[in-house]
Amino acid sequence: MPKIQPSLASESSATKAEDLTGVTGTDRRRVLFVTETEAAADALWGQMQTAVEAGQHGNSYLRFVATSSDAGLALLRASQIDLLIVDQSKPSMWIDFVEQAHEISKTTIVFLLSHSWSVNSLRDAINRGRVFRALNKDRPWPEILGQIRIGALEADLNRSQSALMREASKQNRELEKLTIGLEKTVEDRTEGIARAKELTENQLDQVRHLIRLTKDLSQNISFEEIMSLIRREVRGFAKLGDPILLLQTSTLDFEVLSFRSGILLESRFAGQFGPPGPKATADKALSRKLANLLGRPFMPVMAFPLEVRLIQKYGFESAAAVLCFESSLIDSEQDSFFNEFEKILRPVGMAVDRAFLEREMTIHSLRWERTFDGLRDPIAVIDHNQQVLRSNSKFSDRLIHRKCHQSFAKSEAICQGCPLEKVLATGQLQSALLNIEGRQFQVNSYPIFLAPSQAPSSVVNQYIDVTHSREIYARMLQSEKMSALGLLAGNIAHELNNPLSGIRNLTQVLVAETVNMKNSEGLQADLLEIEKATVRSQKIIRNLLDYSGEGEHEVVLIDLAEVVEKTLPLLKTVLRTHRLNLQLEGRTAKVKVDPHLLQQVVFNLVNNACQAMLQTGQLTIATGVAKEGEGGRESTAYLRVSDSGQGVPQALRDKIFAPFFTTKTEGQGTGLGLSLSRDLVRRFGGELSLKEVGPGACFEVTLPIVSGQEGGQ
C-alpha cells in the first residue's frame, strides 16, 4: 500500500514557498498530484509554475501531493480539490482510483497522464473514469499545460458555479426559513383575531344582557318583579339559593323579603338587621339571624349591601337594603360569582332603591290619607279657584274633585262668608262660620306655603260641625235672656204696680166723691176711663210676669184658648198693622203644659207670621179639638196660627225646623224660633208642624187632651 505523505506539511511549505502572487489561499486553485514519486510531482509542479509565471494560467495553484491511491482519496475527502493530476506509467491500473475520486468530488477536473496508452485503457479512462483529459506524456509541455489550463478554467467555472449554487441554496434556505416564520405569524395572527372576535362577542353579549337586565329592572317597580329578575339572573349558580332582600325601613323595624315555593313573602320585624359582614365572605352571623327570623335552617349567607341614596335623600335617613343569597359555593366559585354579580349590583341597587322609595312614599301617603280620613272633621285642600285638590273621606267620597262648594255644600255658588280669598290674600289663618246644608260649620282655613317667602298657593280647610254646640249655646243664651227678662219684668211690674194701684184707688175715691156732685156725669165718665186703663195696665203687667216665668214653672191643666188670650196682650205691637181673626174654641179640652213655655211658642208663631206678611195681612189664631178617629178618646187639641203671606217655599219645607235656619237677614233672628218651639211642644207630648193649607203659611200645634169635656172647670 502506498504511504500517505505528510501532505499538510508539504502543503504548508508549498503554500509558503509558492504563494507569490499575493492572492488568498481560497482563490488559488487546489491541485492534487498523484504520482509515483514526489519528484515526478515536483517536475509537473515546476512546469505549471513556469506557465503561471508566464501569465498563461491566470490564477496560481495550491499544491497537494499523494504518492498512493489511498492518500489521494484521503486528501480528496479532506479538502476541496479543483484539479486532480494523476501521472502514472500504467494508466489502466488507476481507472478505479479516478472513478472513486469522481465519486468523492464530482466537480474535480481529472487529468490522467501516461506515456503508454492502450486503446482499452483510454476507453476505460474516459468512459469509466470520466477523466477530463487523458494526456500523452510524450507530447510537448506547452500542449499538456494548455490542456491543464483549459481544465483549470473549467475548474474555475465549476468552482464559481458551486459557490453560486452554495449561495443560492443558502439564500433558498433563508427564504424558506423566512417563509415559515411568516406563515407562522399569519397563523398566529389569524388565531388571535378569531379569539379576539370570540372574546368581543362574549363581552358584547354580556353588555347586551346587562343592558336588557337594566332595562327590565328599570321597568319593573315592584319588589316581586325585581326579585324575580335577580332570581333568574343567578339561576346559573346551582349552589346558590334564592335572593333574600333585607329592608331597613326605619330605625324601629325592618323587613325580610324571601321566596317560599316561588312566591315572594314579606315579613316585618322589630329592630335592626345590623350591618352585614365583609362582602366577599359568607356571613354566618347573618344566616343565624335569618334562620331565627324565618324559622328554618340557613346555609351561610352572602350579603351585598345596596346603595339606596334616593330613598335616604327623601327623608328616610335610616333606610338600608341588603341583598343576600344562601350559598354553598366553594371559594373559586364564589369568586366567579362575585365577578359576575358585581356587574349587575348597581342596576339592582338602583331598582331596589326606587322600588323602596316608591313603596315607602305610598305607605307614607297612605298613612296621611288614613290619618285625615280618621279625623272627625271634613278636611280639604283647596286652591285659589275653589278647586279641591285633596280631601278626606268626611269631606267627599269622590276621588275626582270638583269645586269645594259643589262637593261639600252642593251649591254652584261660593258659600257666603267663605274665608278662602282672605287667607290667600293675607297668608294668615282665618276662621268663619258657614251655613252649609242646614248645618253650621266653623271653617278654619290655613294657608299652605309651597315655598317660603311666596304667597300661599292653596289652603287647607277644616270644617268643624258646630251645629249642636251652637244650638246648645243659643238655647242657653235664650234661657238666660228669658230669666233676665223675668227678673226685669218682676222689677218693672212691682215698680209699676204701686203707682198703678194708687192711681186706680184714687180714681175710685174720686168717682165716689163725684156721685153726689151736680153735673158731674162727664167727670165721672173720665174717671172711670182712667180706672179702666189702670186695670188694663195691671193685667198686662200680670201677663208679662206670667210670660217671663216670674214665679214657679209648673205644668198645669189649661186650655189652649186661655194660653192664646194670655199671650195676646204682649203681641199688640206686632199685631198692630194686621187684622187679627180669633177663632178660640174647645175651652173644655185641657192639655197638660207649662203655660209660660207654651206662651213662648204662641209668641214665636205669631211673631213669625206677622213678619212673613209684608203689607197689612190677616192673621188667624184658632184653637179647638181635632176630631180624630171614631173613639175620640185619643183626640188632640190644636192651636193654629196662619197668615196671609207668601207661604213657605217647597224647597225650604224640610229645613225650616232645623236649628239656625232663618230667612231673615243677619242679626234679625237667631234661626232658633221654630226649632226651639218644636222642642218645647214635643216636651209636652205634642207636635209642631207646617200645615199645607191656603196661600199663606199655617203652623199647627197639636197636644194630647188630658182631661176632656168631663174635666172642664
Partner 1 sequence: MKVLVVDDEPLVRRSLQRAFKAKGHDVDLAEDGGVGLRMLLDNSYDGVFLDVLMPQMTGPQVLQSLPPEKRQQMRIVLMSAFTGAIENQEATGLADHFLAKPFEDIFAIVKLMEEIVHER
Q: Which residues bind partner 1 (CB under 8 A)?
A: 493-494, 497-506, 508-510, 512-513, 538, 551
Is residue 27 a contact partner of residue 94, using CB atoms and an 8 Å limit? no
Nine-digit cell at 430? Answer: 282665618
Nearer to partner 1 by C-beta: 548 or 608? 548
Nearer to partner 1 by C-beta: 212 or 494? 494
Question: Which secondary structure element, helix H or strand E, spans residue 23, and what is its range?
Answer: none
Minimum gap (Å) between residue 599 Cβ and partner 1: 21
Minimum gap (Å) between residue 626 Cβ and partner 1: 38
Nearer to partner 1 by C-beta: 493 or 658? 493
Please count the other Cβ atoms lying within 10 Å of the Cβ belonging to residue 487. Answer: 13
Minimum gap (Å) between residue 537 Cβ and partner 1: 10
Nearer to partner 1 by C-beta: 199 or 512? 512
Minimum gap (Å) between residue 660 Cβ and partner 1: 39
Nine-digit cell at 1? Answer: 500500500
Minimum gap (Å) between residue 497 Cβ and partner 1: 5
Beta strands 687-691 and 698-704: pairing type? Answer: antiparallel
Minimum gap (Å) between residue 498 Cβ and partner 1: 4
Nearer to partner 1 by C-beta: 2 or 499? 499
Is residue 420 a contact partner of residue 443, using CB atoms and an 8 Å limit? no
SS3 state of residue 584: strand
**Within 13 Å of residue 456, how many CA atoms lie on the same side as its CB?**
21
SS3 state of residue 135: strand
Spell out the residues 6+ positions from residue 636 whose beta carbon is closer than 8 angstroms to its own. Answer: 625, 626, 628, 686, 702, 703, 704, 705
Beta strands 379-383 and 687-691: pairing type? Answer: unpaired
Nearer to partner 1 by C-beta: 275 or 502? 502
Separation CA 268–CA 249 (nearest Å): 10
Nearer to partner 1 by C-beta: 332 or 516? 516
Minimum gap (Å) between residue 485 Cβ and partner 1: 18
Minimum gap (Å) between residue 632 Cβ and partner 1: 40
Is residue 699 a contact partner of residue 647, using CB atoms and an 8 Å limit? no
Nearer to partner 1 by C-beta: 118 or 505? 505
User: Could you tell me which of 608, 615, 617, 605 has the C-alpha nearest to residue 641?
Assistant: 605
HEC letters along 27-51:
HCEEEEEEECCHHHHHHHHHHHHHH
Nearer to partner 1 by C-beta: 179 or 483? 483
Separation CA 102–CA 98 (nearest Å): 6
Is residue 134 a contact partner of residue 122, using CB atoms and an 8 Å limit? yes
Separation CA 151–CA 59 (nearest Å): 13
Minimum gap (Å) between residue 527 Cβ and partner 1: 13
Please count the other Cβ atoms lying within 10 Å of the Cβ belonging to residue 309. Answer: 12
Q: Which residue(s) pair with 655 in the sheet?
A: none
Minimum gap (Å) between residue 545 Cβ and partner 1: 11
Spell out the residues 6+ positions from residue 530 whose beta carbon is closer than 8 angstroms to its own. Answer: 503, 507
Query: Rg of the chain over CA atoms, in angstroms?
Result: 72
- DSSP-assigned letters across all residues of 233-274: HTTT-TTEEEEEEEEE-SSSEEEEEEEETTEEEEEEEES---
Nearer to partner 1 by C-beta: 461 or 514? 514
Minimum gap (Å) between residue 594 Cβ and partner 1: 19
Residues composing the chain: 713
What is the distance between the terminal CA atoms of the chain, rounded to a whole angstrom? 199
User: Could you tell me which of 606, 676, 607 has the C-alpha nearest to residue 641?
Assistant: 606
- DSSP-assigned letters across all residues of 179-214: HHHHHHHHHHHHHHHHHHHHHHHHHHHHHHHHHHHH
Nearer to partner 1 by C-beta: 475 or 542? 542
Nearer to partner 1 by C-beta: 551 or 649? 551
Q: Is the dihedral of CA 352, 355, 359, 360 positive or negative?
A: positive
Minimum gap (Å) between residue 524 Cβ and partner 1: 15
Minimum gap (Å) between residue 529 Cβ and partner 1: 17
Task: Specify the residue for cell string 502506498.
Answer: 2
Nearer to partner 1 by C-beta: 15 or 537? 537
The b/e string for 613-637 (b: 16+ C-beta within 10 A; e otherwise) is: beeebebbbbbbbeeeeeeeeebbb
Residue type, 138: D
Separation CA 155–CA 21 (nearest Å): 19
Minimum gap (Å) between residue 534 Cβ and partner 1: 8
Minimum gap (Å) between residue 516 Cβ and partner 1: 11
Nine-digit cell at 696? Answer: 199663606
Is residue 70 a contact partner of residue 5, using CB atoms and an 8 Å limit? no
Nearer to partner 1 by C-beta: 44 or 500? 500
Nearer to partner 1 by C-beta: 417 or 502? 502
Minimum gap (Å) between residue 587 Cβ and partner 1: 25
Nearer to partner 1 by C-beta: 417 or 499? 499
